[in-house]
A and B are shown apart, each in its own frame.
Chain A
Amino acid sequence: MGWELEPRGEASRKANLAAPVIAVFGALVTGAILFTFLGHNGLSAVYEIFIAPLTNTYRWQDLLVKAAPLAIIATGLAIGFRANVWNIGAEGQYILGGLGGTWVALQTLDMTGGWILPAMILMGMIWGAAYAAVPAILKTKLGVNEILSSLMLNYVAIQLLYYLMRAPWKDPMAFGFPQTAMFTSDQTLPMMASGTLIHLGVPIAAAIALTAWGVMTRTIVGFQVRSVGASPKAARFAGFSASSTVWLALLVGGGLAGLAGILEASGPFGQMVPQFPTGYGYTAIIVAFLGRLNPLGILIASFVLALTYVGGENAQTAIGLPNAAAGVFQALMLFFLLGFDILASYRLKRTAPKPSPTANTSGVTPVEAEGARA
């Protein structure tokens, strides 16, 4: 006896929407059991991470601030994922975005003017996009798999950050700490309401997601991305070039990750430090999938994942869960999501031990040979 996946025919829209909800729920239950076995109180772990932050209005602001970069990065990644361009390098592009804006900031420490912050943001997006252009060139010119090249560039970006912090960009007044000078008030994001944590990045994130939604559903470019992802051959029939789609996907993904980077640097951080990368670039991959690669879904998903960040910190202080707890819940969500996605389009079937020959149109897979093994 064996097991076999049998296609269910068309995956239903309902299942598509239900999968993320089931995945989150499955992650909570499994996480609770897991932490109970590890000697913690599993139920209170779930409570501290996923419920407690919601009961506190101050934490609500924190959620928005953490959700913003996740939503911005995930929106960019989702556009690429829709086109089957697998940019795993958002973390590096995020760092480069932060560095690009910081470079502008360091040049303008003695200046004032309303143009400085926009210039920093623009430079952040340019550096992020330029960093994503590396896998794009490698893919379109040499056929290098973008998953590997973009992922490995993350480590390069981290080393570049460490280098800049420890030597050329180090603030001489920082008593030897590896960090840049604090940004001036013209170089930091304005708050949306005084006395809160909510900075300009939050409305920007919402605006970007809404714009991306419009672009994907209403424009030729969005249609191009969807066509290339659904069927490269049909996209060629429609006159869409595969390599321009790769470029588009990586530049948009890199540009938005860079934007998230400089918004973080000029917002919550207010300077550049070696602790700048916090894994947003990786978490955003989970956000993108949990949001069904739909910008509106991503807005919702970014809150769920922001909750794991905020709640994870909460649980550390409240019940002494390790820092990795949040990561465990994040991973469980992705795991369950991918699993339920498979089950939404296939059903698991017990099979008799006989081989099931399948006809193949290419004429290379030997039906007869398969029978011969029996």
Chain B
Amino acid sequence: MTLRLELNGITKRFPGVIANENVSFAVAPGEIHALLGENGAGKSTLVKIIYGVQRADEGTIAFDGRKVEIASPHAARSLGIGMVFQHFSLFEAMTVLENIALGMDNPPPRRELEEKIRHVLNTYGLSLDPHRDVHTLSVGERQRIEIVRALIQNPKLLIMDEPTSVLTPQEVDRLFDTLRQLKAEGCSILYISHKLHEIKALCDTATVLRGGKVVATCDPAEETARSMAEMMIGGSLKDLSPKNDGVYGEERFAISNLSAPGEPPFGVSLKDVSFAIRSGEILGIAGVAGNGQNELISVLSGERTDGVSGVIRLDGSDLSKLGVGARRRAGLAALPEERNGHAAIGQMTLAENTLLSARGPKLLAGSGILRTGKAHDYARTVIEAFSVKATGPKAKAGSLSGGNLQKFVVGREIMTDPAVFIVSQPTWGVDAGAAGFIRQAMIDLAAKGAAILLVSQDLDELLELCDRLAVINAGKLSETMDVKTVSIEKIGLLMGGVHGEDDAAADAEMHRGKAA
């Protein structure tokens, strides 16, 4: 049997790093092949080489048994390679149809294209209205545009880069159905993910990359999620030591009727958000990205106060009229999702970065004067306590890897012993070892009596850490649920919210009705 794709000895060097070193593996027709690895393991570079975005320094690629040079994405597409990127490339103000036409090398006339699109949609049971404007679509629907874009060219190999990171559980199931149907038709799929149970459920073979090299090839069905994770990190995973279940103190942090307008043009407004967290408790907020999570964090931290109404109480006193600094002094620490450029300044040293948020609580400045020595010591303490890999407090924040910078900023906040810790995506893009460390630090902080609000898109993380869970959708927060009794299906439906399949279909009907 001819192999669909065969990589032989692929090496790619960048100044200072080797992204891929002598990588070889093969994908058979109709095989779903997983590419596993931590951030920085070289998955993206490898995929970019296959899709013609980058060129390998050494090694060969064979497609359908023939040696090929893939010089550009155009060349890749004409070979029959399609790719669905993790970050969508869509024009918000244009329709689905226009976006698909823009992505094609030789788009056929509109009518013909629409027919083709409808054919693909019907064949794979995807629901999408070609005439809707993209900005009205949910993330799952947007991904479908990218998938249709790829499928319309009848690919023989489809590359999917972290496709499920923005989907609800139901959307994930539907995506897997589509992928299995493609597999049955003989299309090969190269599936990149770090969600191990998905790989177990979907993939036939997995190639594990670490530090740019292939370290293992396995059959996911025969491995456990844990064994695959250990292949990825090349060591054994530590278990989290859980905090005392059900031991909570007084109510520490209470939000009632919090509303805030969204930032134009496509910002999400917060609508009447209320919740309360007790001492020692971790409340999780699940939701698909872009449903008001960042708005909620910036309103709670005090970074946004324009047009905000509602009450934010910490140990009974109202913080809603206070600025960022005063809230921090009251014991509220909030850490936004974006670490470099929001929670830290890349051009500044780690010592200077402690001054951003810890200068009040840790007295790193007084009467207008910086205590640079103290800041330096505090940075060193954080580096040591959180095992941050850095040359020292004088290292520039931008010189740290994403995971290490994340450990540093989380440590900087946690070591101020906040009464309330609000954190968004604390382990996003962080390797498994560091993620475990950060999660343990949060559990320990809660055990000391802090109230923690954890905003995350990673359901596994939420289920592992939180006592209670709520779902945010289109700026509205659901009721909070106990994690022990909650069902994944229910969370998924809440995450889908008004953008759920039925509603979307109904919306689409209405649209068509109006257009007619």
Contact present for A223 and B369 (CB under 8 Å): no
- Report the Cα distance A368→B52, complex, angstroms: 12
Against B, the Cβ 8 Å flags (1 = close, 0 = not) of A333-374 are 000000000000000000000111101111111111101101
- Report the Cα distance A359→B48, complex, angstroms: 11
Q: A237-B301, A371-B73 are in contact. Are A223 and B355 (CB under 8 A)?
A: yes
A10, A227, A356, A363: residue with the most chain B Cβ atoms closer than 10 Å: A363
Residue B479 at the chain A interface, CB threshold 8 Å: no
Residue B92 at the chain A interface, CB threshold 8 Å: yes
User: Contacts of A362 on B, CB cut-off 8 Å?
Assistant: 87
- Report the Cα distance A197→B201, complex, angstroms: 86
Report the minimal beta-carbon distance from B194 to chain A, rounded to whole angstroms.
Answer: 18
User: Contacts of A218 on B, CB cut-off 8 Å?
Assistant: 369-370, 372
Contact present for A368 and B103 (CB under 8 Å): yes
Q: A230-B345, A233-B342 are in contact. Are A368 and B89 (CB under 8 A)?
A: yes
Whose C-beta in chain B lies nearest to the C-beta of A239? B324
Instruction: Report the count of interface residues on A (CB-CB < 8 A).
Output: 36
User: Contacts of B90 on A, CB cut-off 8 Å?
Assistant: 363-364, 366
Contact present for B91 and A237 (CB under 8 Å): no
Whose C-beta in chain A lies nearest to the C-beta of B93? A364
- Report the Cα distance A222→B344, complex, angstroms: 17
User: Contacts of A359 on B, CB cut-off 8 Å?
Assistant: 85-87
Question: B242-294: which have CB < 8 Å to A?
Answer: none
Looking at chain B's contact residues, the main secondary structure is: loop
Contact present for B396 and A234 (CB under 8 Å): no
Contact present for A366 and B103 (CB under 8 Å): yes
Residue from B88, B104, B359 within 8 A of A372 (CB atoms): B104
Contact present for B87 and A369 (CB under 8 Å): no
Whose C-beta in chain A lies nearest to the C-beta of B146? A368
Contact present for B74 and A374 (CB under 8 Å): yes
Contact present for A363 and B87 (CB under 8 Å): yes
Contact present for A219 and B369 (CB under 8 Å): yes
- Report the Cα distance A221→B370, complex, angstroms: 9
Residue A238 at the chain B interface, CB threshold 8 Å: yes
Report the minimal beta-carbon distance from A190 to chain B, rounded to whole angstroms.
Answer: 33
Residue A144 at the chain B interface, CB threshold 8 Å: no
- Report the Cα distance A355→B16, complex, angstroms: 24
Residue A317 at the chain B interface, CB threshold 8 Å: no
User: Contacts of B338 on A, CB cut-off 8 Å?
Assistant: 233
User: Contacts of A236 on B, CB cut-off 8 Å?
Assistant: 303, 324
- Report the Cα distance A218→B398, complex, angstroms: 22
Q: A218-B370, A354-B71 are in contact. Are A234 and B102 (CB under 8 A)?
A: no
Residue from B88, B92, B370 within 8 A of A223 (CB atoms): B370
Contact present for A10 and B88 (CB under 8 Å): no
Residue A9 at the chain B interface, CB threshold 8 Å: yes
Contact present for A371 and B74 (CB under 8 Å): yes
Report the minimal beta-carbon distance from A324 to chain B, rounded to whole angstroms.
Answer: 38
- Report the Cα distance A270→B142, complex, angstroms: 71
User: Contacts of B22 on A, CB cut-off 8 Å?
Assistant: none
Contact present for A237 and B368 (CB under 8 Å): no
Residue A220 at the chain B interface, CB threshold 8 Å: yes
Residue B15 at the chain A interface, CB threshold 8 Å: yes
Contact present for A234 and B89 (CB under 8 Å): no
Report the minimal beta-carbon distance from B443 to chain A, rounded to whole angstroms.
Answer: 25
- Report the Cα distance A355→B74, complex, angstroms: 10
Question: B307-346: which have CB < 8 Å to A?
Answer: 323-325, 328, 336, 338, 341-346
Contact present for B342 and A231 (CB under 8 Å): yes
Whose C-beta in chain A lies nearest to the C-beta of B348? A230
Q: A359-B85, A366-B90, A374-B72 are in contact. Are A238 and B102 (CB under 8 A)?
A: no
Contact present for A238 and B85 (CB under 8 Å): no
Against A, the Cβ 8 Å flags (1 = close, 0 = not) of B360-373 are 00000100111010
Report the minimal beta-carbon distance from B281 to chain A, rounded to whole angstroms.
Answer: 25
Question: B30-55: which have CB < 8 Å to A?
Answer: 53
Report the minimal beta-carbon distance from A256 to chain B, rounded to whole angstroms.
Answer: 20
User: Contacts of B356 on A, CB cut-off 8 Å?
Assistant: 227, 234, 237-238
Q: A239-B324, A364-B90, A374-B73 are in contact. Are A234 and B105 (CB under 8 A)?
A: no
Whose C-beta in chain A lies nearest to the C-beta of B399? A10
- Report the Cα distance A360→B85, complex, angstroms: 10
Contact present for A9 and B15 (CB under 8 Å): yes
Contact present for A357 and B355 (CB under 8 Å): no
- Report the Cα distance A219→B186, complex, angstroms: 66
Whose C-beta in chain B lies nearest to the C-beta of A361? B87
- Report the Cα distance A220→B104, complex, angstroms: 53
Contact present for B149 and A368 (CB under 8 Å): yes
Contact present for A220 and B103 (CB under 8 Å): no
Contact present for A372 and B323 (CB under 8 Å): no
Q: A9-B16, A239-B324 are in contact. Are A366 and B73 (CB under 8 A)?
A: no
Contact present for A360 and B87 (CB under 8 Å): yes
Contact present for B102 and A369 (CB under 8 Å): yes
Contact present for A237 and B370 (CB under 8 Å): no
User: Contacts of A237 on B, CB cut-off 8 Å?
Assistant: 301, 303, 324, 336, 342-343, 356-357
Residue from A219, A227, A239 within 8 A of B328 (CB atoms): A239
Report the minimal beta-carbon distance from B372 to chain A, rounded to whole angstroms.
Answer: 7
Question: B93-108: which have CB < 8 Å to A?
Answer: 99, 102-105
Residue B497 at the chain A interface, CB threshold 8 Å: no
User: Contacts of B370 on A, CB cut-off 8 Å?
Assistant: 218-220, 222-223
Contact present for B368 and A221 (CB under 8 Å): yes
Q: A223-B355, A230-B348, A360-B89 are in contact. Are A371 and B342 (CB under 8 A)?
A: no
Contact present for A368 and B345 (CB under 8 Å): no
User: Contacts of A361 on B, CB cut-off 8 Å?
Assistant: 87
User: Contacts of B342 on A, CB cut-off 8 Å?
Assistant: 231, 233-234, 237
Q: A227-B356, A231-B341, A234-B342 are in contact. Are A219 and B368 (CB under 8 A)?
A: yes
Residue B302 at the chain A interface, CB threshold 8 Å: yes
A223, A234, A364: residue with the most chain B Cβ atoms closer than 10 Å: A234
User: Contacts of B355 on A, CB cut-off 8 Å?
Assistant: 223, 238
- Report the Cα distance A219→B355, complex, angstroms: 11
Residue B467 at the chain A interface, CB threshold 8 Å: no
Q: A230-B345, A237-B356, A369-B103 are in contact. Are A357 and B53 (CB under 8 A)?
A: yes
Residue positions of B touching A, CB distance < 8 A: 15-16, 53, 71-74, 77, 85-92, 99, 102-105, 142, 149, 301-303, 323-325, 328, 336, 338, 341-348, 352, 355-357, 359, 365, 368-370, 372, 396, 398-399
Apart from A366-B99, A369-B102, list 20 A-B contacts with CB within 8 A: A10-B399, A222-B370, A223-B355, A227-B345, A230-B345, A231-B346, A233-B342, A237-B336, A239-B328, A357-B53, A359-B86, A361-B87, A362-B87, A363-B88, A363-B89, A364-B89, A368-B89, A371-B105, A372-B104, A372-B105
List 10 interface pairs A-B (beta carbons < 8 Å), by A numbering. A218-B369, A223-B370, A230-B347, A237-B343, A239-B325, A354-B71, A354-B72, A355-B72, A367-B85, A374-B73
Top 4 A-B pairs, shortest CB-CB distance: A239-B324, A368-B103, A371-B73, A239-B325
